[in-house]
Amino acid sequence: MGAFTPTLFVVSGPSGAGKGTLVEQVRSLRPDLGLTVSATTREPRPGETDGVSYHFMSADAFQRMVDEGGFVEWAHVHGHCYGTPVSEVEKNLVSGRSLILEIDVQGALQVKEKYPDAVLVFIKPPSLDVLEQRLRGRGTETEESVALRLANAREELKLADRYDAVIVNDDLACAVKELLSTLECYERK
């Protein structure tokens, strides 16, 4: 096993594939991982806190930050803008921490262009039917939003082969183990 190299990981996959829960569990087992908070123009959901879940911004404020080069990457996702502030990534890299960016596929490919050593990990749902059940089960999405997220999922799944690793999130505990070993494998290669 090689020496530890702080690594920038990008985790993405369709909305409802379970990335959020998976990354949250991996973070609790790897408290050394750096945290980043993305910016978005969408409205907060119940229980979400500004500055913790996201930096919630108006479309104007978001555009100003784009113009000032304040994002490593940004993308339109499900009708809203999402972006990773440069400051959030740099603060971790300068302190020698590995970090996980949990972002959509368009953003992931932009990160790889800027940081060629970044490792892209794709989280797949076991099937599109399971994905649909999970999205409906959340109870937070409108019918229109479920349809949009499913259509986007079909497109995103086509890009899985551009990723360095693919994890199928069927059983959460297995997926957690797999993501943990993927991180370690790249950090110590």
Q: Is 38 in the site for ligand 5GP (CB under 6 A)?
A: yes
* Residues facing 40 on adjacent strands: 56, 82
- The answer to whether the CB of 183 falls within 8 A of the CB of 26 is yes
* Residues facing 122 on adjacent strands: 12, 166
CB of 59 to ligand 5GP, least distance (A): 15
Stretch that binds ligand 5GP, among 24-32, 76-84, 122-130, 175-183 (CB under 6 A): 76-84
Nearer to ligand 5GP, 5 or 159 (CB): 159
Site for ligand 5GP in 13-32 (CB under 6 A): 15
Q: Which sign does the torsion angle of CA 163, 165, 166, 172 carry?
A: negative
CB of 158 to ligand 5GP, least distance (A): 15
Sheet containing strand 99-102, edge to edge, reads: 99-102, 8-12, 119-124, 165-168
Tell me which residues touch ligand 5GP (CB under 6 A). Answer: 12, 15, 38, 42, 73, 75, 77-78, 82-84, 102-104, 106-107
